Amino acid sequence: MISSFGAFLVTTLVSLRKSHAYARARLIRSAILVALVMIPLILALIFMDGMMRGITDKYITLQDGHVQLYAREVLHDNPEDFSQYDNRIIRGDFVVSGYGIIYSRDTTAEVRIKGVDPSYFSDVRTAQMSLTGNPVEKAERLVAITLSEALAKQLGVSIGDRVACMVVPDSSTSVVRPILAQVTSLYQSGYHELDTSLVFMNRSDALRFFPQEKNGYTELLVDPTAVDDLTEIIEEIQENQEKRIPYATWDSFNTTVYTNFITSRQVILLVFMMILLVAGVYVASIAQELVQDSMQAIALYKTLGARNRTLYWAFFITVMAVTLSGMIGGTTLGVLLALRLGTLLQWLSNTGLAGLQYYLLDFPVVVSVPDILLICTAMLIISSVTVHLSLRRIRKISPLQLLQQD
């Protein structure tokens, strides 16, 4: 615990009296620089978390679901009947899926074809996309498909146009199935990688090309707050069905994509730590400058009987108080700016810059308190270590230095 003399010294070091104008300006400048380090870190952290969470939500909601039950028959005609097993289940849609090549007059694209009913596009899914037209609703005898706006632009087609497809055969057959389809609607999820690879087809049409006994499954969506309880939810379904149904959860779909997300996050956090290490070196320089300017004062205090430990803690508390004030100010400003990030992202999305198409710019800004606390804690720990190393020179200051001239 700091002594009364130590408290007096801390008060002197952070004094706002006019006689200490230079010292005051120096500490304020130091706090501002610490804040300027924290602001972009907090913005980058919130942007990274929001984008990765947004991409994951779109893959889950539109392409894979939280759980896939590999029962090859329709378990319930009404997708919302699954809530009778567990109210955490939002819906369970029976779908079929496969792969194919879609092409127009000028170009082709490899796509994943997903056979669904029109009811598949419920409120929870339309919240993740914008739709134009009537998705997969048949107006003619042709196969009805829903393309993304990005894929339609790539193929040079629009609603009402016809496109050709080649269904990629599975291992049980070598027959290539040609399809003539009509574009009945367009969607846009906001994520280019998903938009250019996913095509929706009317389920009745898809069953003609993808065998139900091999390509059919039930796709479950659960409440986002229950993502960690998937095993429990699946057990309840199997208990009510009175049979064991093979299944897979969302983290096993698109393993490469999710692994890349985790790896990218770890790399980015490592970069953050390196930036914080540089910031910690700067904080150490604040301590060095403070000690350098107080050399004769420290010598005088030692002559009067002050202990190294008391002087150390006084300077340590002063420097860490400046660091903490700058960190709190920078974090607060970073969060406030992040809450306005949606406007900037919308503007960037509207610019149509080609380099931005591989990023998801349409995601809700969510402030992750644990992640922010992690960054702040790391900043405090690194700064504490560097300041400790800098303040060891207090022990080397001799009372004889009081006789030195400025």
Q: How far lies 259's CA from each of 232, 255, 359, in Å?
A: 24, 6, 17
240 plus 296 within the same structural domain: no
Is residue 402's pLDDT more than 70? no
Q: Tell me, what's the pLDDT at 175?
A: 61
Percent of the chain with pLDDT over 90: 15
247 plus 117 within the same structural domain: yes
Q: How confident is the model at residue 19 (pLDDT cuts 50, 70, 90)?
A: very low
78 plus 162 within the same structural domain: yes
- pLDDT tens-place string over residues 208-253: 888 888 889 999 999 988 888 888 888 888 888 778 888 988 877 7
Number of domains in the chain: 2
| Structural domain of 374 | 4-57+258-403
345 plus 372 within the same structural domain: yes
Closest CA to 141 of 221, 82, 204: 204
Is residue 401's pLDDT more than 80? no
Q: Rounded to whole angstroms, how far apart are CA atoms 151 and 153? A: 5
141 plus 230 within the same structural domain: yes
Closest CA to 392 of 302, 294, 303, 311: 311
Is residue 360's pLDDT more than 70? no
323 plus 399 within the same structural domain: yes
213 plus 242 within the same structural domain: yes
DSSP states of 210-245: S-HHHHEEEEEEE-GGGGGGHHHHHHHHHHHHTS--
344 plus 300 within the same structural domain: yes
225 plus 299 within the same structural domain: no
Relative orientation angle of helices 341-351 and 21-58, to the nearest 10 degrees: 60
Question: Residue 138 phi/psi, 5° resolution?
Answer: -80, 125
Is residue 362's pLDDT more than 50? yes
Q: How far lies 374's CA from each of 45, 281, 365, in Å?
A: 11, 19, 19
Q: Tell me, what's the pLDDT at 148?
A: 92
Give the Cα-Cα-Cα angle 281, 282, 288 (nearest 5 degrees). Answer: 90
Who contacts 264 (Cβ-Cβ below 8 Å, separation ≥6)?
52
Closest CA to 149 of 349, 364, 355, 365: 349
Strands 108-116 and 198-202: parallel
- pLDDT tens-place string over residues 48-77: 888 888 888 888 899 889 999 998 888 888
Q: Rounded to whole angstroms, how far apart are CA atoms 60 and 218? A: 13
Q: Where is the domain boundary, 220, 235, 252?
A: 252
Is residue 292's pLDDT more than 90? no
Average pLDDT, integer, range 108-123 = 91
Q: Where is the domain boundary, 252, 274, 290?
A: 252
Who contacts 315 (Cβ-Cβ below 8 Å, separation ≥6)?
9, 13, 287, 290, 291, 294, 391, 394
244 plus 262 within the same structural domain: no
Write the single-letter amino acid at 254.
Answer: N
248 plus 268 within the same structural domain: no
Q: How confident is the model at residue 116 (pLDDT cuts 50, 70, 90)?
A: very high
Strand partners, 99: 112
Is residue 309's pLDDT more than 50? yes
92 sits in the region (left: phi over 0; alpha: psi -120 to 50; else beta) called beta
Q: Tell me, what's the pLDDT at 13?
A: 57
125 plus 198 within the same structural domain: yes
Q: Where is the domain boundary, 229, 252, 275?
A: 252
Q: Given 3-state DSSP classes, what are the helix, strand and coil percentages for the chain, each rounded to the nearest 5?
A: 60, 15, 25
Closest CA to 262 of 2, 48, 72: 48
Q: Tell me, what's the pLDDT at 9?
A: 56
pTM greater than the 0.85 cutoff:
no
